[in-house]
Amino acid sequence: MAAELVVAAVGLAGSAVCWILFAAPELPPAWRRLRRAAGGALRVDRLAVDLAQADLLWFSPTSWIAVRSSLAVAAGVVAYLVFGIAVLGAVAALAAYHVVGVGLEARRRQAESRRQRALLDAMRFGISVMSRAGGALQTLQTLSESGPIEAQPIFRGLLYDAGSDGDAHLLLDAVRRMRDRLADPLFDDISIVLVLHWKQGGKLIPALEALVADWNETLRLQRDARALRAGVEASVLLLTVLPFVFLLLMHVTAPALLAPLGTPPGEFVFACAVAWMVLGYRVVQRMAEAPREERLDLDEASL
């Protein structure tokens, strides 16, 4: 018997080696296609932008997905151990995964709003500095030293990357790197104004004034829309958390009421009810979903 197992193991190992040798030329393209498909399904590019806008640069998309998935699995295991219902464990994992995503979105919007207000104040301050015969480079230096507190690190980083000689190519590279780091639509517009000024010339103050007027109205509309969505967003969060609170209270006070849900017919009926609830929840969530300002795909070489 032992000899037969050894022969079978050697045969399987030999077959595996032959398969790898024959399939080796196809493995790298297949792996690249698999990675692209997985990245598209997990929205890795969108997630990288979200993490940058939320000031979570220490998180890579891969590590964020791993942490979020691990928390979801842990929540599912805990729910199953507490209630003993497989469907409820799966729902708890899904709810935890969603709540972590909601937390990221809330942090992203908060950080983006704070950063955009600071950039808008910085542009107003920069217009007043340039109107007193200050150039673009001198204005950036002033903003990095005495501009709005939230915006000072941005312009300080620009000047640090560009060096002290004010070379146009270094400035353009610094703007591109800062745009990639912030992933902010408002800074994308500022980048276009600065790049056009440094490459094509022209007056900078009228462009900044038009940009300030446009974004001031945009931020005002965003504040009004956020106030209108506040109630719906709170309802969406309550719909996620309250069912588990209710079930936990039932499990503590009257566990016999949950016993039918542990049987196969009970889990099937419970799964159908949960699916219907999730469908309605998604409708409400889409109604409360905040619109996002799209970023510009800026190509400095074409400007």
* Alpha-carbon gap, residue 222 to 235, rounded angstroms: 20
13: amino acid identity, one letter: A
What average pLDDT does this structure show over 24-29?
A: 55
pLDDT for the residue 15? 59
Q: Is the CB of residue 145 less than 8 Å from the CB of residue 153?
A: no
Tens digit of each residue's pLDDT (9 = 90 or more) over 157-173:
888 776 655 566 777 88
Residue 29: predicted pLDDT:
56
Nearest by Cα to 150 from 188, 125, 114:
114
* Euclidean distance between CA atoms 210 and 284, whole angstroms: 37
Q: What pLDDT score was predicted for residue 41? A: 47
Which tokens hold the place of 251?
């499990």
Q: What percent of the chain has pLDDT over 70?
A: 76
Average pLDDT over residues 2-11: 58
Model pLDDT for residues 263-273, shown as the tens digit of each residue:
888 788 878 88
Region for residue 299 given its phi and psi (left: phi exceeds 0; alpha: psi -120 to 50; beta: otherwise): beta
Per-residue pLDDT tens over the stretch 93-137: 988 898 898 889 889 988 988 999 999 998 888 888 887 766 777
Token pair 């030329």 is found at 25
Percent of the chain with pLDDT over 90: 7
Residue with more model confidence, 20 or 286: 286
* Phi-psi category of residue 145: left, alpha or beta, with phi > 0 → left and psi -120 to 50 → alpha: alpha
Q: Is the pLDDT of residue 199 over 80?
A: no
Give the separation between CA 172 and CA 162, rounded to whole angstroms: 8
**Which stretches of the chain are DSSP H helices?**
2-23, 27-42, 44-53, 61-83, 86-130, 136-146, 152-162, 168-182, 185-200, 205-253, 264-288
Question: Taking the domains of the chain in order of start, what are their residue ranges?
Answer: 61-111+229-288, 116-220
Average pLDDT, the chain: 78
Please tell me the number of Cα atoms within 13 Å of 156 on its side-chain side: 10
Cα separation, 291 vs 79, in Å, equals: 34
